[in-house]
Amino acid sequence: MVDVGAKPATPRTAVACGEIRMRPGVLRRIKGRSLSKGDALTVAKIAGIMAAKRTPELIALCHGVHLDSIEVAFSFKRGRLRVQATARAFDRTGVEMEALTAVSVACLAVYDMAKAGDRGMVIGPIYLLEKEGGRGGHFRRGGRP
């Protein structure tokens, strides 16, 4: 692991995005919260939050940070569900991995909830949209990757 012991704790924020593409009928059932397994959005939101909190257990050599908040939100686009996670902390290292992990696991939870209706769903891209804080300063992606 990288030694961050001498770095000052500062406010850190990271926003990650991802999407899962699927058949329109399955997307409508997710939006209407009418899947046979239950409410995919609530399950995915909780899964994403839980995953963000456990990021150092999932990603080798990733520092544990004391998260102040993690938010997971969804929006519907044509043929896909967009997932966005915002992680915030006051710590010595960034929270990009927590935001990216939240998006990844939220997408996987949606897949699990909806796979009976569409096994051909596609997850991705998943990417960092923005980060603030730390020595690296402010980063904002200029468009979708």
Residue 60 sits at the vertex; the CA angle it makes with 100 and 113, to the nearest 5 degrees, is 45
The upper half-sphere exposure of residue 88, i.e. CA atoms within 13 Å in the direction of its Cβ, equals 7
Which of the residues 68, 91, 112, 118 is marked catalytic? 112
Q: Is the dihedral of CA 130, 135, 137, 143 positive or negative?
A: negative
Phi, psi at 140, each rounded to 5°: -140, 125
The verdict on whether 112 is a catalytic residue reads: yes
What residues act catalytically? 112
